[in-house]
Amino acid sequence: MTSTTEATQPKTVRDLRIERGITQEQLAIELGTSPGVVIYWEKKARRPGSRFLPLLCKYFGVTVEQLDLAPNKVLGPPIGHPFRRSIQ
């Protein structure tokens, strides 16, 4: 049995896509975008814009509140990486 908390947990675009059993390319075709854009959404590097957000919700049968769109907390290259600037 699923608890109410589990049932209302927001899901990522990736989770919803996998549940539906489709590829990133298939989702991109359905929504009229490129697979690269779907990859950005799944990595949470970018949020779907006002054009795609309603399409995603309709396609997956969810509300905006049921989508986990919080950005990843990636702030830059790891400490010690040659491209990371030191803070002085």
Give the burial class of 85: count Cβ atoms within 10 A of its Cβ; 0-12 exposed, 13-18 middle, 19 or more buried. Answer: exposed
Tokens linked to 48: 């779907």
**pLDDT-derived band at 9, boundaries 50, 70, 90:** confident
User: Given this model, what pLDDT does residue 73 score?
Assistant: 57
Give the burial class of 57: count Cβ atoms within 10 A of its Cβ; 0-12 exposed, 13-18 middle, 19 or more buried. Answer: middle
The 8-class DSSP code of residue 11 comes to B
Domain extent listing, the chain: 10-66
pLDDT one-digit tens code per residue, 57-77? 999 999 999 999 877 655 455
Whether domain 10-66 has CATH 3.40.190.10: the reply is no
In 3D space, the residue among 87, 72, 27 whose CA is nearest the CA of residue 52 turns out to be 27
User: Given this model, what pLDDT does residue 69 score?
Assistant: 84
